[in-house]
Amino acid sequence: MLWKKQKQEKRTMSPKKTTVVGIDLGTTFSAIAHINEDTGKAEIIPSPEQDRITPSVVLIEKVNDIIVGEIAKQNAVAEPNKVVEFVKRQMGKPKEDKKDEQGNILVKGWSFEHEGKKYSAQEISAFILKKLKNDAEERLGTMITDAVITCPAYFGDPERAATKEAGVIAGFNVLAVIDEPVAAALSYGLDKLKQDQNVFVFDLGGGTFDVVILEIKGGKIREVVVNGDHLLGGKDWDDEIIRYASKIFKEKYGTYPLDDLSAYQDLQLRAIKAKEELTKREKTKIMCVHAGNTLLVELTRDTFEEITKYLIDRCKVLCGIALSDANMTWQDVGAVLLVGGSTRMPMIRNMIAEISGKTPSDELNPDECVALGAAWHAAMLSISSGDMPVEVVKRLAGVEVQKVASHNLGIIALDGDGNERNFLMIPRFTPLPFEKKDIFKTLTDNQTSILLRIMEGGIMGENDTCDPLDCNMIAQGSIRDIPPSPKGSPIEVAYKYNDIGILEVHGIHLPSGKEVVITVEHTGGLTAQEIKAATMNIEKASITS
């Protein structure tokens, strides 16, 4: 049975007044914030139910009847086939598998299907963003259009583009997509940005993990290195609890709860609660219900830490790699920030203290700091509008943020032996924005087009190249309308990686000086027509909590 809250009367909005917001689009929870004009401070905008964070869970009751938040999360047990969770882990994936001419899968697709309709990760995320937008407009009584949305620092070009697309579908003018650790640093305190130091940000959310080292100098925040795993987060700790309880249950009753979707969903909720209880207590009990049997499984904190030790070890390794890439030691780090609700686990705090010899700052609310920092960034980008309070403008004076490329970017071309190789275009950790130009040559007389395949990742070897099989294709495009010319005619291609980590490509046919058309299609991106259709659909939908 679906439990649904009664709709509340909407507050009348001022059509003339607008507010810019910052949004933390999280794997398990999302939040929205703004700068309070009266106090000059960043504040979370609560939902009508007074919730400061909203579960990133979507229940599709019907095509135009969408429920987002706690009710959707609770109904996951009763109606698992209608509920989408952890969609952030699917960002950047196409709706369908991308295959080559031989039928080999190049990029694995993802979609959620309900009543014959397939939803992309962008569309599901847009439902969450639209719910936040509606709630904030009702709370503030103003129209909200401009927004800064955050994403994991380790997200690549496809995931960032998908995040922006989700914002557009939800009705936002997306001012920027910024890294969550950078937002956390802004939330840490603008006054502290005046102190030159290196800040180590350990960001463990519900489904993603970032390690970012920031250099703060003269009020400027500069990413030095970025590392992480966008498939590592609190959910993995939950899953270990679920597997542990299911194993004990099977040993007693001979049936496995994970074979039953409803039992799994129920255990998922109980595992999250158990994890939270073990933050404060030494032991807890998990009720496991399956196939007519019920079992209370005891779980101690020691056992929990034992079965998840491999996850802690993964975090340790990534921290060490980040320091090595930055050519730093822990002695070079001035402050350690813990971001994300999963950092509340004692094992995380103990591990950080052990490897760093430092006490992490406890000044941040792990659940809210990213949204609050995004609100400050939105204010930074809106100063020129003249709508920001004078006090806010003064606080933001001189504050700058610079991102780096989180992955190597390359392009497929033929080497001297005629073999396809991935040639380095933009090295990882390159400060953004960054632009590079390359010369391509036509292979035949009167060639009219050139295929471009843009790759992400890979460890570069000799001549800054690597095997294309060691990389991910993130975009493909073509240089079209090349004027008639002999074989070997040069085409100058300029790649610009903008300051939010999204790639732009331009080209010039050098013999004629004519600008050529280059269309870049992200492997997980939506077409303009698909975005328009999704935007129209979401405007028709009833999105409630």
Rounded Cα–Cα distance for residues 228 and 502 (Å)? 19
Rounded Cα–Cα distance for residues 226 and 205 (Å)? 16
**CA separation (Å) from 245 to 153, 255, 256, 299?**
33, 12, 10, 8
Tell me if residue 24 is catalytic: yes
Long-range contacts of 74-81 (CB under 8 A, 24+ apart): 74/3, 74/269, 75/2, 75/3, 76/265, 76/268, 76/269, 77/262, 77/265, 77/266, 77/269, 78/1, 78/2, 78/262, 79/2, 80/261, 80/262, 80/264, 80/265, 81/114, 81/261
Q: Mention every residue, 6+ apart, whose C-beta is less than 8 A from residue 20.
A: 34, 35, 144, 146, 147, 148, 175, 375, 378, 379, 381, 382
Exactly one of 24, 123, 229, 456 is catalytic; which is it?
24
Q: Mention every residue, 6+ apart, whose C-beta is less than 8 A from residue 186.
A: 193, 221, 372, 373, 374, 376, 377, 399, 401
Pair 497, 475: CB distance under 8 Å: no
Tell me if residue 180 is catalytic: yes
Q: Residue for token digits 């940005």?
A: 193
Exactly one of 157, 179, 180, 367 is catalytic; which is it?
180
Dihedral (CA of 331, 333, 338, 340) sign: negative
For the purposes of burial, counting CB atoms within 10 Å of the CB of 69, is it exposed (0-12), middle (13-18) or buried (19 or more)?
buried
157-169 vs 528-540: helix crossing angle, rounded to 10: 40
Rounded Cα–Cα distance for residues 497 and 270 (Å)? 43
Question: Other CB atoms closer than 10 Å to residue 214's CB: what's the count?
Answer: 29
Rounded Cα–Cα distance for residues 543 and 449 (Å)? 45
DSSP result, 232-272: -SHHHHHHHHHHHHHHHHHHHHS--GGGSHHHHHHHHHHHH
Exactly one of 61, 85, 157, 203 is catalytic; which is it?
203
Give the helix/strand (H/E) hosting 121.
helix 121-140
Please choose, from the candidates 499, 515, 253, the residue with its C-alpha nearest in 3D space to the C-alpha of residue 381: 499
3-state SS record for 57-77: CEEEEECCEEEECHHHHHCCC
- 451: tokens are 């295929």
Bridge partners (DSSP) listed for residue 437: 494
Exactly one of 61, 73, 85, 88 is catalytic; which is it?
88
528-540 vs 121-140: helix crossing angle, rounded to 10: 50
Rounded Cα–Cα distance for residues 406 and 429 (Å)? 6
Rounded Cα–Cα distance for residues 223 and 394 (Å)? 24
- 195: tokens are 């102190």
Catalytic residue numbers, as ranges: 24, 88, 180, 203
